[in-house]
Structure 1
């Protein structure tokens, strides 16, 4: 056996014992299949590293561990924090969450093991194989291994910087982002295949730095359903039966790049930041939380009331920070230019909307809505001027 074969078999076998019939394979008994355990894979990978101490990747992992421990003044090899980091490297390098055949949820799998997925072809839907050469998101195990190696190289260099290490530690501790949130993205989202070593890049911008500092302060004042809503609307796809990718709650950067719901990780950060910044300016937002954000230099002390972009009514924090029935939320999230009209899932195109405002807009752009409202006002009152 070799390092490569051991790791390939570990990940492939674990997928086969967890994925069940989600992608056309045989059903694993009558009970719900277990979830793919990234934490288990991380621990097993470190066992393989110890088994092949002279392998190039083993050396890189140990070097990363050494730098990590030096920065954190730790004394124990492969600490829990380091294991957390390895989990995220594995998740990014080797794995993807695809929407299952029933389009009801996502299931974790490797990037190389074949499986059936539903794809849209014009007005029809066909089952197609997710496998290297047949889907831009699928690549060989060897390519994933190159990505793992490159990510390890980048991190080994970067964490020697004190500020980067501090950011990384805060990222690893943060519990409000999506599971296994990380800071690697794609240089060219239109590349086919997209998931290659020469197409990945480290991305740390002002949005994620702001979010890592603001999330703990903000989320302490939010009901769980509101916190979950912000996370879902920022990072996950809606249920779709009409796009090129039949998807439901998948990571937006892991759906087909030419599908209308696709968005880069960086754009998703900007969406979450925009939704939180707007929420801060709702009427009755807790003053003590606002003051804490100001004291941390995260927001300006000036305060204006956020309004619905369609109806112009003031938003009220008490109305949104409460439990609501599914589909009957007082406030919703909408794109000013709908995604199906070539809008982009990014901060400058996202907004909270009142329930009525969202219904008025429908699948129109905000500009189209305003033209219609102006015409209605003009017909009723003879002029749109005050």
Structure 2
């Protein structure tokens, strides 16, 4: 099927003042009439609504044909097509329009086949209803080392039982019919979403970033992360949150009864100060935020630019809720360096107090 008019629609969409995937959908009926897409839409329509089918199509097109690149001045991001001329020569994220069509065909057929599995159908419906962003769809790269990274061989549907659990936890916390405090959690999830999925602002170095999707950053950038890692980080931060002091006990009991969390009662602590983290304080801040101030933040235990090993990646083992004091103390140091600094300070205080050179605080 000749799809050249669709290419023109996509290229016009990224030149608009404001990118709109809804407008792209309205103008890309020809793509939806292509057999792989049409077969998928028919099957999706058998268990989700027409509006939800539209959401799936919009997210799939967004993930396959478009990318959100940081602007040259690193002030914000701008949508572009995967074959855009502003990519540097040899950038592994480039894909031609025809290559994107091949990816689209592969993913449509892969999802269509997976929908024969009732478990996957249930999970896929949850993605539409409880996705945190208009871009969420379970697609991921096999490896960041592929050249190009965006190809039929390297992009597939993500199957991960922890993602299914994450979606069900979201529903438990955000569904007003299940949780009377859902509005509070909407604000908390917004904080989690930014830290889980979007790059930090990096104005220097070889790979400048500013709030792109991490899996769309240059794969050689320390800010890059697979979508599966970002989802795992969100789950990690939620599980830490549930172990804050004063977290609603009724919600804990519900999540345990649904088999979504384990019954461990270990209190979450700041990794630097080791102070216990208090849910009521976080809730107060979300309800009444103060610009430029936040008692609780989310940070990397080891800064992404501080090294090359696994411990310096954007991954669950390297991220945590942290107090404002802890974040200020740590600065650019690794967690190990920070704790060594605190121990040195403590030993110096003890020695000088014992010698009488200073008074106890």
TM-score bucket of the superposed structures, by smaller chain: 0.7 to 0.9
Confirm whether residue 350 of structure 1 aligns to residue 319 of structure 2: yes
CA contact 2:48–2:125 (8 Å) conserved in 1: no
Q: CA RMSD in A?
A: 2.0
Confirm whether residue 44 of structure 1 aligns to residue 27 of structure 2: yes
Tell me whether 231-240 or 41-50 shows the greater mean CA deviation. 41-50
The 3-state SS of whatever aligns with 2:105 is helix
User: Displacement, 1:147?
Assistant: 0.6
Confirm whether residue 60 of structure 1 aligns to residue 36 of structure 2: yes
CA contact 1:244–1:256 (8 Å) conserved in 2: no
Q: Distance in 2 between matches of 1:97 and 1:369?
A: 35
User: Displacement, 1:315?
Assistant: 0.7
Q: Distance in 2 between matches of 1:257 and 1:73?
A: 35
Cα–Cα, structure 1 residues 224 and 69, in superposed 2: closer, same or farther, change >3 Å?
closer
- Equivalent in 85, 99, 102 of residue 73 of structure 2: 102
CA contact 1:105–1:248 (8 Å) conserved in 2: yes
Which residue in the other structure is 1:319 paired with?
Answer: 281
Give TM-score, length-normalised by structure 1.
Answer: 0.83
Alignment of 1:259-338 (within 5 A): 259-321=221-283, 322=285, 323-338=288-303
Q: Distance in 1 between matches of 2:223 and 2:255?
A: 32
Q: Distance in 1 between matches of 2:148 and 2:321?
A: 35
- Equivalent in 177, 191, 195 of residue 146 of structure 2: 191
Q: Distance in 2 between matches of 1:303 and 1:211?
A: 20
The number of residues matched between the two structures is 338
Which residue in the other structure is 1:13 paired with?
Answer: 12
Which residue in the other structure is 2:94 paired with?
Answer: 138
Give 5+ residue unaligned stretches, structure 1.
Answer: 19-32, 51-57, 116-129
- Equivalent in 115, 134, 159 of residue 159 of structure 1: 115
Give 5+ residue unaligned stretches, structure 2.
Answer: 175-181, 353-361
Q: Distance in 2 between matches of 1:111 and 1:48?
A: 17
The 3-state SS of whatever aligns with 2:27 is helix
Moved over 6 A (4+): none
The 3-state SS of whatever aligns with 2:3 is helix
Give TM-score, length-normalised by structure 2.
Answer: 0.88
Q: Distance in 1 between matches of 2:211 and 2:293?
A: 19
